[in-house]
Each structure stands twice: as structure tokens, then as C-alpha cells.
Structure 1
Amino acid sequence: MKLIAVIAGVCAGATVLAGCGGSSGAGKGDNGAGGKVVSGGTFTFAMNSDPGNLDPQASAASNLFQITKFAYDSLVNVADGGKIVSGLAKSWQVDGTKLVLTLHPGITCSDGSQFTATDAAANLNYIADAKNKSPFLGVFVPAGAKATADDTAGTVTLTTPKLAPFLLDGLGNTPMVCAKGMQDRKSLARQTDGTGPFQLSEAVSGDHYTYTKRAGYSWGPDGAGTATKGVPDKVIVKIVPNATTAANLLLTGAINAATIVGSDQSRMEQAKLFATDSAAPYGEMWFNEAAGRPGADHAVREAMVRALDLGELAKVLTAGTGTPGTTFAASAPVGCPGNSVADALPQHDMDKAKQLLDGAGWKAGSDGTRSKDGKPLALTFMYNTELGEGGSAAAELAVKQWQQLGIKITTKPRNETAAVDAMFSTGDWDVAWESLAVSTPDQIVPFMSGPAAPNGTNIGHISNAAYEAGVAKASAIPGTEGCPEWLKAEANLVSNSDVIPFANQVIKTYGKGARFDFIGDLVPTSIRMLAG
């Protein structure tokens, strides 16, 4: 999962796993995109917050997920439209609960060492070992999975305890670490050890990260390599927290790519910059249901949902360009199209919301604030600052509506890194606006069930028996055949007010002096530098 990252230069508006969305392919726009392809040069894009620890398997934050792609590869890749194409593996065969992948020969790590089938198996087993607390466990790599290797044949065999309907999709989002990094995980915090097209050459926390092109790289998505004309010699990831600043830098040519949201988009359109369109979940409301938290009370959760005019919030959040939430796995390429939200969503009704709280013993005092057994109904509301001006305005509107309900709200705007820390580690939140950027419904399961954070990835401490039963039924059906059951399962999360997807958005990543593809994230091997 990728916890919502509105990356001002990569992935605006979603959280964590598969990326922010799909791509419109070659993109559109003439300014800076129609020039002659030229080799070399430096490609610079803006990211709105520092990714922190660079270990590619340690966090579900989408800014880390994006930056990881420059230095690390996955065994397979998910192309535009959901097609599985080659990565480190040149071929694969699925037989029920057994997957055999055959690696390309001659794959090297950034230090020149060989990447072997044994290394690939070690990565999968590391993630599958619960003691390592990788957020990819149960999301990309199924719980209970075991990997073995045959270095002579160059094959990796992955067995799962039960059918994994979207296993290849998950592996397409699982970065592989080379042997040296696997042996010294702490070294990965500030340097890279992967097989990717670029290698980290400079890291200045809070300012920029510089990646240098690797010669001889030829095992990228569907055989992409760095010898292709137009691939830059260097990539600089520049940390630019302010979206307007990122827009200004892009328009002046100081950077080559930025994801722009809000009012600044009109300036990009007027300049007719190159742009890719990316479907993404943009507004998703979570409740902390841990024992002792107000959200543990179903009446509180449902009342808070009913108190909000979610349609109006979505309009404010997306500046009128978004659409209502439809599913939890809404990032293109969407594995299970449909709508698990509309029919299950508690409808806006302030009177009903007040009745729910009254019935649960939360009575309004003389100042209008509700309390129970002498304890006020007070909650901490955290929202991602990378949602921009629309996010701040929508959050202000939500607070007003909750205050009308008699709830005392403490607002905590947080950037992605701080939000992820709160949700996965400290637990210091009650309501949060963060979105999971995933493409297949199986990828959300560990975030909606199982061990709670910080011991697991169930960040809302959700215990929803109907959802879990639905997942068990859907998981026994291969691939997209099980989509109707997956959507039925998800609806139980909405009707129980555990998590509410209330807005989707088409995110635009603009380019100047370069063009690129955006499939879940910006694809490093697709970057082409342009003359003039």
C-alpha cells in the first residue's frame, strides 16, 4: 500500500502500495514535449516530502515507493492496462499455489555483483517473515509464502498456502534488494543496493537525492534499458513541500516534472505543458478503533460519517474535478472495476447522527459538547498537508460539521512522512484522511484486518467479521472471476464505517524539457530528455 502521498512531482493523492494511478500513455501537451530526443542531461522532479529511511521494503509511504523505483527492480512489472510484463524475470508459470519465475541471465547489482535466484528468494522470504515487519507482507507477498531457488537454472519458486488471485500484480510492486543490502539492512537507510537503472550517488536529507545512470542495464520493464536514446545521465529528486513553488519551478524550467493539484493546475494548462493523467483515490476517511479510542464505538463512527456532506467535501477537496469514491482499489490499472461504496454508505443526516450519539450515551452539555461518564467526546483529526489548498478547505468544512454534532476536534495537519509514522507507529490519531493507492482488492486486506499497528499493518485496528468472511470467499476464486465477491466484502467496511472512500481524482503530472510514462508511479526507464 502506499499511504496517500500527494507527491508534488510524482504521485499526488494516494497512499501506498501500487502507486497513485495509471498513465495516459505518452501523455499530452506540446510545450517541452515535442522537441527532439537527446541523450544525457539531468532530469529533476519535485517530491513534496522527504522519504526518510530509504530501505525499500520498510515502509508503505508512496514517496519512498516512487524513489525506490530508480535504484531497484521487481521480478515482474505491471504495464499500462494491467498487463504483466518482464522485469528481473524473463518468464513465469503459475500452477495453482505454485509460481516459478525464470530470471534474465547476467543481471548485476550497482556494485557489479551478480543478482541470483538465491537473492530473489531471500527477498521474498525476508518479507514473508513476520518478525521483519515489512508492510508488504500480506499485501504483495502472501502470508505463509515460501521461496526456494535454483541458481543453475536461474529459477525462483514461490509457494503460497492458498490461492493468491493477484500474485503477479503484487510481485510487480515488490522491490528486490541485492545480497550486500540484505545482509546489512541498516546500510539501506541512506544508500541503495539494487539492480535498478540508476544508483544513488548523493543524499541530502530534506533537500535532494541524486541518482546516476547505470551502464549496461537492460532488464527493465518489458526489456527497457539505459542505452536507449534520451535516458538522462542523472536524476535529481528535489524536495519541494509547497505546490505553488513546485509549479513555479516547473514553468521556469528549473525542474522537469511535478504533480500539480489545485489552483496551480490552470497555469500548467495555459502553458500547454506535457502531462500524464493518473487515476487515484484522493479522499479516504479512516477511524482509529483501538481500545479506549472514541472510534472504537460504532455509533461514534457512523454518526461522524452521517454528519458530513461527503459530496460537498469531495467537491471542495478536488476543486470540483473529482468523482465520488467507488472502491478501495481504485488506482489504475484497476483489477476489479465496480462500486463497493454507493449502496453501503451511511447517508448524510445530521439529525440521525445526533440520535446515534444520544442512544450511545454521548449527551450534549450546556456548551453543546457531548460527553459520556464525565468524559468529553474529543477526537484528533489528522489530514495530509499534501492534499493542498483543497485539503485544508475540506478539512475545515468537516471540522465545522463535526462541531455541529457536538464533537471537540483537534486538527493535526501532517505531511506524508509524519502521517505514516502516526498511523503505523505512534497511534496518536482518531480520524485520518489518507488514501491507499492500490490496484487489486487483495492488497488492502492487511490494512483492514489481522494484526494491528504497530505489530501489523491494520492501522485502524479494524475487526470486521463480515469483511473477513467475504475476503475468505473471494480469495478462493482465481483472478478477476472473484471480483463480485471482493466488492461485496469491501462494502462491509463502508457500512460499518470503518473506512470511507469519498473522493477519486485524476491526478496530472506535468513535464517540461522531458516526457515520461506514469503507470502507478513515474517509470524511470520511460524518461526521455528533449532538446530546447
Structure 2
Amino acid sequence: MRNYRSLHRVIAVALATVLAVVLAACSGGSSSSSATSDIFKLGTTEQASSLNPLMAGNGFDLMLWRTIYPQLVTYDENLEPAPALAQSWTWSKDKKTLTFELADGATWSDGEALTAEDAAWTIKTLLKYSDGATATAASYIAGVSGAKALSDTELEVDFSSPQADALGNMAYSFFILPEHVYKKYATGDGSKLLSFTNQDDTVTAGPFDLESWSTDFVLTSANPDYWGTGPKIAGYGVQYYSSDDSLTSALTAGDIDGVRIPSANVIEAAEDDSNLVVNTTASLGYYTIEVNVSDNKKAHRELLDPKVREAMDMAIDRKTILEQAFLGYGSTGVGPVTSASNYTDTSLTGTTFDIDAANKILDDAGYTMGSDGIRMADGHEMSYEFNFPSTMRGPGDRAFAILKKDWAKIGIEVTAKYIDSAANFADIFGTNNTYDTFDLGFWDWIALPPEPGFILSVQTCAALGGYNDTGYCNKKYDALFAKQATTTNAAARQKILDQMQQMIYDERGLMVMTEAPATDIHAQGWDGIVLTGLQAYELPNTWLSIHKTDS
């Protein structure tokens, strides 16, 4: 058996040693003891996948990119757009032109000047290849029609129509590229932009420089030439762990200082350790039951009956699922725009658990109980395959046991169909994306960006065969979605968003069980960690403010 504890200590020592050498080189050969102690060591169970911000990066990638690449805007602790490279911005009267004032004197890590021309070139390149190579990156500048540098520090961005979520989307995942590095790849169909790994002599311009990168281990150091207020630590490292057990062992042994997006099991272990600090708040993530509501569904069409779905919703014991399956971490759920969001419909209070009322709904609708305790619908039993993606194992197993027992009390039988998460969407989509076979199942989501546009777009007709996980397609909903995107008055837009959230709730194709918690776990002796609905380490705020305490 591998000695994980010994391995973790080797990693921790190696991280500090490597960074000490790096810091000594950067400072002409002198490094203080505080320099090596002020390295924050983060553990994660997600591997890095790319250093190219044009790729569809995962959460680990985005966390890293936000600390090494420049962004026009970022998020503050309230998940509102805040200055980054852009120190300020102004909208034109018609809300179709946005002018940014950028920081003066910014440079890339290779010494080249970082100017508005880099930002303009990046935007124009994303637009040029938006139907192909840059489709993912271009989605974060939706509605942009062009850009130009008015000077080294002034950038003008034009929109085809007013965009209510423009700044929020940019804050999440729009990264400025160094034109002098990427330009030679922006040829033909743009495919070379994606094949460029950016792993050799990576040119950056964030608060941290990149020192070492692999899928399992990342090392950074504070950028001494950063154009803004720099970090308070000498650097940070991130180590991948293949399981919660190995991560927990490293944490309790003191080999890492914090955990990125910990599971309920890791949180529970950390709360029992006096050397660790655990803080939680509401997050943008949630766990849901999804029911196929597409009229293309061939079998078990009783699931298209709103009364059936209403009864099923009433027979979900969310409080018990939260306490027993998710160990009490998080909160009961209502809809896809969670309580952590600035855009949630606060009038929605959720469904009350009531087995008797659920049975009455089904009785009144004519679904008779069979002798074996399973109801009948159109001559067949109300017995369904329940998709169980791999990302839901563990807590999901406990949740399914509770759900199966309670649904049996209303005459509905479900059998788990275990499926790889990567294959789950294809199974939901069915034949030629017609949603013809799927019944229902678990899924987990995190509503990113914090702007609600993406998570609400999942239920649009345009998302069928893409991210739409219920087969829902409603032209009225689509019209509201289009309207909210161009409604720049905040109060007026919120009314539209509330209408959309009410429609999703009433449809009950998407039944949110629980909201996941945002959790910060860190070792005693560290402070300045900013916990938001986007977790603790996902935004630059934490990496700029985190520091050692006097104790």
C-alpha cells in the first residue's frame, strides 16, 4: 500500500524548495525564510487541463488563468463586476458602446507592453473564428460586434444591441491574449489557436507568474512587475489528489494549507480538526432531479403530465436528503438560480414534502394503484429507469435510497441506471437529439458565470442537443430569455428573470433537491480568504488578499 502521508510531505517540501529557488533567482540570489513560508499550498481533486485560455477550461484551469492572465474586469466579493486591467468604464447613451480606461504601464512577463491593442486584437480574433476555433471563448463576449484601441490605455468595444450581462460575462472568462505571441496562430480556420499548448515560456501578465505546470501540479510566484496592487504571499502551489481520502490525509497532516471545493466528507473531517478553519456560505451549485418533458418522448408519456411531476416533487424529502445524503452541508433547493445569486427569485419558497397530498394528486388524476404497490398509467406500471451519473456517487447513493423509498409510497418505482457522466448528456438527448427515450435522473450543476444568462439558457429551445437536460422547449420562455439579455434596467430585467424562474419551477422538469455549499477550509495561521458563492479560491480576490497571520 502506498504511504500517502509520506508522499504528501515530499510534495510539500518539494514545492517550498522549488519556489525558494525561483524566488532567489528573481531577487538576485537572496531569499528570506518568510518567502518560503508565505507559499499557500492548495489541494484539489480536479486536474489541470490546459494553459491556453481559448480552450474550454475546467474549474482548476479558470482559477489559474485568472491569476496569471489579464482580464478587463473581475468579480468583487459580492459577485459584481469590478475593475481589473480596466480601471473604469463608461457606456454610451444607447448602451451599444463600452469604453474602458486601462491601467498605464502594464507589461507582459516577457517585457512587452500590455496595451489596449492586445485587448482589441483578442476581441477581433474571437469574433473572426467564433463559428469554429474560438466558439467557447467568444461566448463570453456575446453581442460584441467589434473593438478598437483608441490609445494604449483606451479601448472601445461595440455591441450589436444592448447587453445586460456584458460585464458579468467578461469578468468570468474573457482573457486578454498577448498579440505578439498568438498572432502567428491566427491563420486559416484558426485551428492552430487551439493546438497551441502555451506550455513553453508561457507569457503572462497577472498578479502571479507561472513557474511550473502539469496536470497534477502547478506552481506560481508573485509577479514583481504586476501593474496593480500585488499579492501578499510569495506564491501558491496546487497539488492534485486522486481521492477525497488522500486529500484529507494531506490536509490533516499539514502538508497543504487549503482545499479547493471540498466534498461533504472532507468538510466533515476538517471540522473535527482544531488546526483547521472551516467557513461555509451559499453557493451557485445545486443537485437536481431532471424529468424528460419533451413531446418526442415515446414511452412513459405520463411523465409529460404536469400532475405526475407535481406529485413526484411533493414526494421529495429535501430536508432528509440534505441532512443524510449531504451531511447537512448546503440548503434545500428551489430553482437553478440559487440563493447565492444576486438574481434569484426570492418569492419562490419551494415545495412542501407531503406524501398524502402527492397520493391524492395521482388518485384524482386517475393513476390507480396496482396490487404490487406500483401505480398504472395507460396499461403499464409507473416504473422508470433513473439515470445516475458518476459525479453523483457517494452522496447521490444516499439521496437515491431516500428518494426511492418515498416515491414507492406514492406508487412510483425507480431503478438506478448507473452511467458515466460524460455519457449522460448523450443518453438524455436520445436519437438525433430528439429526447425520445430518457425518463429521468440525477444531475449536478453549478450556475456559472454568476450572471444568470447561461444557467437560464439551458432550458431554451436553442439549447436542445447542447446543454438542455430536460427537453423543455417553450417559445414564451425563449422570448423572455431574449428580452432579459437586452434589458439594461436592473429592476425591469429582474422582473423578467423572475418570470423565467417561475416558469421553470411550475414546469417541474427540473426539480432542485439541494444547493451545494461554498466552503473554505484552510489551516490556522492564514487569513484574507474571500469566500463567495463562487467558492473561496476561484477569483483573484483571495489570491490578492490571502496572507500569513502574526500568530
Q: Same fold (TM over 0.5)?
A: yes
- Secondary structure of the equivalent of 1:69? helix
Q: State the AA in 2 paired with 1:452.
A: A
Distance 1:514 1:502 in 2: 34
How many Å separate the matches in 2 of 1:293 and 1:131?
A: 34
Kindly state the Cα deviation for residue 511 of structure 1 after the two structures are TM-superposed. Answer: 1.0
Partner of 2:250: 249
**1:460/1:193 Cα in 2 relative to 1: closer, same or farther (>3 Å)?**
farther
C-alpha displacement at 1:315, in angstroms? 3.2
Unmatched runs of 5 consecutive residues or more in structure 1: 1-36
Work out the CA distance in 2 between the residues paired with 1:294 and 1:73: 51
After TM superposition, the structure 1 stretch with the greater mean CA deviation from structure 2, 116-125 or 169-178, is 116-125
Q: Secondary structure at the match of 1:43?
A: strand
Compare 98-107 and 376-385 and name the one that shifted more: 376-385
User: In the alignment, which residue of structure 1 is the partner of 2:290?
Assistant: 286
Q: For the Cα contact (< 8 Å) 1:92–1:102, is it kept in 2?
A: yes
Q: Deviations over 1:425-477 (max 9, x none)?
A: 995875232123343333423322153365x4445443133422333454425
Structure 1 residue identity aligned to 2:343: C
How far apart, CA to CA, are the structure 2 residues paired with 1:369 and 1:440? Answer: 42
Q: 1:490 aligns with which of 501, 514, 518?
A: 501
Deviation at 1:231, TM superposition (A): 3.2
Residue 79 of structure 1 corresponds to 76
Q: Which has a greater percent of helix?
A: 2
Deviation of the 1:98 alpha carbon: 2.0
Deviation at 1:491, TM superposition (A): 1.1
User: 2 CA distance for matches of 1:127 and 1:401?
Assistant: 50
Q: Distance in 1 between matches of 2:406 and 2:137?
A: 36
Return the offset for 1:40: 3.9
2:141 aligns to what SS in structure 1? coil
| Correspondences of 1:58-457 after superposition (within 5 Å) | 58-59=55-56, 61-95=58-92, 96-125=95-124, 129-132=130-133, 134-135=135-136, 140-142=140-142, 144-150=143-149, 152-178=151-177, 179=179, 180-181=181-182, 183=185, 184-188=193-197, 194-205=204-215, 208-213=216-221, 215-219=223-227, 223-226=228-231, 228=232, 230-232=233-235, 235-258=236-259, 259-262=261-264, 264-270=266-272, 271=274, 273-280=276-283, 281-287=285-291, 291-292=296-297, 298-299=304-305, 302=310, 304-330=312-338, 332=340, 334-339=341-346, 341-342=348-349, 349-351=357-359, 354=362, 368=374, 378-383=384-389, 385=391, 389-402=394-407, 405-412=411-418, 418-419=421-422, 422-423=424-425, 427=429, 430-438=440-448, 439-452=450-463, 456-457=466-467
Residue aligning to 1:27: none
CA pair 474-510 structure 1, distance change in 2 beyond 3 A: same
For residues 510 and 252 of structure 2, the distance between their equivalents in structure 1, rounded to whole angstroms, comes to 38
Against the structure 1 CA distance between its residues 379 and 102, is the aligned structure 2 distance closer, same or farther, given a 3 Å change threshold? farther
TM-score by length of 2: 0.72
Residue of structure 2 equivalent to 1:499: 510
Distance, in Å, in 2 between the alignment partners of 1:98 and 1:306 is 48
Structure 1: distance between partners of 2:426 and 2:68: 25
List per-residue Cα deviations over 1:364-422 (Å, max 9, x = no partner): 7979597879899643423464x6753431133234445664445334376xxx45x74
Tell me which residue corresponds to 2:519: 508
Residue 477 of structure 2 corresponds to which residue in structure 1? 467
Per the alignment, in what secondary structure is the counterpart of residue 176 of structure 1?
A: coil
CA offsets 1:78-137 (integer angstroms, 9 cap, x no match) = 111245322121221123232111222333344444444343234445556244474566
Instruction: Specify whether residues 471 and 453 from structure 1 end up closer, same or farther in structure 2 by C-alpha distance, changes over 3 A only.
Output: closer
**Is the CA contact (8 Å cut-off) linking 2:244 and 2:265 kept in structure 1?**
no
- Closer/same/farther in 2, CA of residues 189 and 106 from structure 1, 3 Å limit: same
Structure 2 CA distance for partners of 1:423 and 1:175, relative to 1, 3 Å: farther
After TM superposition, give the deviation of residue 166 of structure 1 in Å.
3.3
Distance across 2 between alignment mates of 1:306 and 1:445: 23
3-state SS in 2 of match to 1:330: coil
State the percentage of identical aligned residues: 16
SS at the partner of 2:337? coil
Name the counterpart of 2:14. Answer: none
8 Å Cα contact 1:369-1:406 kept in structure 2: yes
Task: Point out which structure has higher relative CO (alpha carbons under 8 A, 6+ apart).
Answer: 1
Distance verdict in 2 for CA 1:79–1:410, change over 3 Å: same
Q: Which digits, 9 at most, give the CA deviation of each residue in 1:201-260, with x for residues without a partner? A: 44443xx221322533424xxx3324x4x332xx33222243343233112111110144
TM-score by length of 1: 0.74
TM-aligned CA distance change 1:423 to 1:135, over 3 Å: farther
Aligned-residue CA RMSD in angstroms?
A: 4.1
Distance 1:315 1:446 in 2: 31
Q: Which amino acid aligns with 2:395?
A: G
Would the alpha carbon gap of residues 453 and 201 (structure 1) be closer, same or farther in structure 2, given more than 3 Å must change?
farther
Rg larger in structure = 2
Q: For this pair of structures, how many residues does the alignment match?
A: 477
Helix, strand or coil at the partner of 1:70: helix
In structure 2, the CA distance between the partners of 1:341 and 1:326, relative to structure 1 (3 Å rule), is same
Q: What is the one-letter code of the residue matched to 1:39?
A: A
Matches of 2:132 and 2:328, distance apart in 1? 45
One-letter amino acid of the counterpart of residue 462, structure 1: Y
Query: Offset at 1:279?
Result: 1.9
Unaligned runs of 5+ in 2: 1-32, 186-192, 431-437
Find the aligned partners of 1:294 and 1:116 in 2 and give their Cα distance: 59
Which letter maps to 1:483? Q
TM-aligned CA deviation for residue 298 of structure 1: 2.5
SS at 1:469 equivalent: helix
1:337-379 deviation line (CA, Å, top 9, x unaligned): 54254368997654267569976xx997979597879899643
How many angstroms apart in 2 are the aligned matches of 1:209 and 1:241? Answer: 12
